[in-house]
Amino acid sequence: MPKTIVIQPVTRIEGHAKITIRLDDAGEVETARVNVIELRGFERFCIGRPVEDMPRITPRICGVCPWSHHLAAAKATDAVFGVTPPPAGRKLRELANSIAYMEEHILHFYFLAGADFLLGPDADYSVRNVIGILQAAPEIATRVVKVRHACARMLEILAGKAIHPQAAVPGGFSKPLLPEERDRLRPMADEALELAKFTMAFAKENVFAKYLDVVKSLGVITTGFLGTVADDGALNLYDGKLRLMAPDGTYEDFTYDNYTDFIAEHVEPWSYVKFPYAKKWGAFSMDLDKPNGIYRANTLARINVCDHIPTPLAQAELLEFRSAFGRPAQLTLLYHWARLIELLFNAENAVRLLADDEITSTETRVKVTPRAARGVGCVEAPRGTLIHDYTTDENGLLTNVNLIVGTTHNSAPINMSVTQAAKSLIHKGKYDQGVLNRVEMAMRAYDPCLSCATHALNGKLAVRLDIFDSEGKLLDSLAN
């Protein structure tokens, strides 16, 4: 009798989601789908508002990566007003972006995905969590906490507040960085860099090497990739051009405002979330044997699409990574490895920006004047390319708004990786908690943040697994 397995919500990802696995009569996986609930009405709510409000409003969408929304919105308003921030304004924004990245990547590696690796995917659920990590590796945890403190403190000094920021404004940055403030920030950035270096070395020796077999088999799919690069092809998380790389490694570059020429949005009847795909590659298909139009965003994508990384330590790691896994690397769990290369890059980048005397210039913004225009702002959010697309009338009031959030780019690949994982791990109807956690691991590799797309207050804390027969009768229920 066919069964349906439901994992809801997925633990240790941001936001809420539900994985539904349907088994056929033989107990083999028929389908695996990841469902989320979309935040509705945001674009419509924005219509008629002054465009300069957007950098203040959009961080409210999501408490997980408010800086990304804040900066994408600021860049879109720059474009609408037709202005370019002064160098110091741009550098302050980029510095804030790098600090926010470090905070996120540290959280993910050590405390969200970390439990899977540091404690093992088959560890009992009661210890496979942040408290378990603290007990297993207290010295590392203390060091990590210190840098998370430093990141929060740096954002406080830089922008006045770390959560729901308002410092980036149309035309630049509202608050110049004082020389004495820079002096306070520099040792914190140095400390973050030391942790990033330690983390990379620690992960290569103790985590990735240990779980290479899992990395090579779990959630593996073949797709294209999307990310941002500078004009010279260097990795850039704040600004540049978009690069869409096909599975064979060929690519096209395009400016933000041309994204609709390259990306279309597919709709599935079983999900509220859009499925962006590369429209020039043909019809959308998530068939594991013959996918089409599918690309991925987020860390692995950015590491794949860039030609090089403009900081020395991260560049050395990129070369080692490519030597081992090629370009483009396709193994899904390599997202974790790529995330640590980015952590290193951001730490180096923060140190570099703080060493730049221009960052303390008092000229941090330019004046803006309302006009009728379209502006597209884009940053690489920790979880993928974030696009804000605004159109205004002659008074600067919004007439159209479209957002594509980072995780949305990965809608199709997440579904494919979860399907692949489920098909390889569940046979003849047999499964246990370890197997199900590995299915979740395939999804967690993408570090999906579903908060942008969800406002469901009905999520429960624990993972629950329900098994239904084909008539909807509950056969079994497992809970953590």
> Measured from the CB of residue 245, what is the shortest distance to another protein in angstroms?
32
Measure the CA–CA gap between 201 and 85, rounded to whole angstroms.
Answer: 38
| Cβ pair 409, 273 in contact under 8 A | no
Site string for another protein, 406-445 (x = CB under 8 A): ----------------------------------------
Measure the CA–CA gap between 264 and 275, rounded to whole angstroms.
Answer: 8
Is 156 near another protein (CB under 8 A)?
Answer: yes
Q: Which is nearer to another protein, 278 or 452 (CB)?
A: 452
Q: Is 223 exposed, middle or buried, given 0-12, 13-18 or 19+ CB atoms closer than 10 A?
A: buried
**Residues 11-70 interacting with another protein (rule: CB under 8 A):** 11-14, 16, 39-42, 44-45, 57, 59-64, 66
> Measured from the CB of residue 444, what is the shortest distance to another protein in angstroms?
10
| Cβ pair 206, 119 in contact under 8 A | no
Q: Would you state the structure tokens that stand for residue 421, as one six-digit string?
A: 């994982």
**Residues 338-357 interacting with another protein (rule: CB under 8 A):** none
Measure the CA–CA gap between 20 and 466, rounded to whole angstroms.
Answer: 9
CA 207 to chain centre: 21
Instruction: Select the residue interacting with another protein from 129, 199, 298, 408 (CB under 8 A).
Output: 129
18-53: b (≥16 Cβ within 10 Å) or e: bbbbbbeeebebbebbbbbbbbeebeeebeeeebbb
Q: Which is nearer to another protein, 187 or 282 (CB)?
A: 187
Is 460 near another protein (CB under 8 A)?
Answer: yes
Instruction: Select the residue interacting with another protein from 28, 149, 255, 400 (CB under 8 A).
Output: 149
Is 6 near another protein (CB under 8 A)?
Answer: no
Q: Which is nearer to another protein, 283 or 461 (CB)?
A: 461
Stretch that binds another protein, among 72-80, 198-206, 429-437, 453-461 (CB under 8 A): 453-461
Stretch that binds another protein, among 285-293, 296-304, 418-426, 460-468 (CB under 8 A): 460-468
> Measured from the CB of residue 63, what is the shortest distance to another protein in angstroms?
3
Q: Would strands 29-35 and 18-23 be described as parallel, antiparallel, or unpaired?
A: antiparallel
Q: Which is nearer to another protein, 45 or 475 (CB)?
A: 45
The end-to-end CA distance of the chain, in Å, is 26
Q: Which is nearer to another protein, 140 or 226 (CB)?
A: 140
Is 142 near another protein (CB under 8 A)?
Answer: yes
Stretch that binds another protein, among 91-99, 181-189, 264-272, 386-394 (CB under 8 A): 181-189
Count, residues near another protein per rule CB under 8 A: 59
Stretch that binds another protein, among 7-15, 172-180, 278-286, 430-438 (CB under 8 A): 7-15
Q: Which is nearer to another protein, 182 or 296 (CB)?
A: 182
Stretch that binds another protein, among 73-81, 161-169, 221-229, 255-263 (CB under 8 A): 161-169
> Measured from the CB of residue 106, what is the shortest distance to another protein in angstroms?
11
Stretch that binds another protein, among 19-27, 69-77, 187-195, 241-249 (CB under 8 A): 187-195
**Residues 66-125 interacting with another protein (rule: CB under 8 A):** 66, 103, 107, 111-112, 115, 125
Measure the CA–CA gap between 226 and 245, rounded to whole angstroms.
Answer: 6
Q: Which is nearer to another protein, 111 or 256 (CB)?
A: 111
CA trace torsion 292, 332, 35, 9 (10° rounding):
180
> Measured from the CB of residue 40, what is the shortest distance to another protein in angstroms?
5
Cα dihedral sign, 238-239-240-245: positive
Q: Is 436 exposed, middle or buried, given 0-12, 13-18 or 19+ CB atoms closer than 10 A?
A: buried
Residues 6 or more apart whose CB falls under 8 angstroms from that of 273 comprise: 36, 38, 408, 411, 453
Is 187 near another protein (CB under 8 A)?
Answer: yes
Provide the residue type at 178 as one letter: L
**Residues 194-253 interacting with another protein (rule: CB under 8 A):** none
> Measured from the CB of residue 460, what is the shortest distance to another protein in angstroms?
6
Contacts with another protein by CB under 8 A lie at 9, 11-14, 16, 39-42, 44-45, 57, 59-64, 66, 103, 107, 111-112, 115, 125-126, 129-131, 134, 141-142, 144-146, 148-150, 152-153, 156, 161-164, 184, 187-188, 191, 451, 455, 457-462, 480
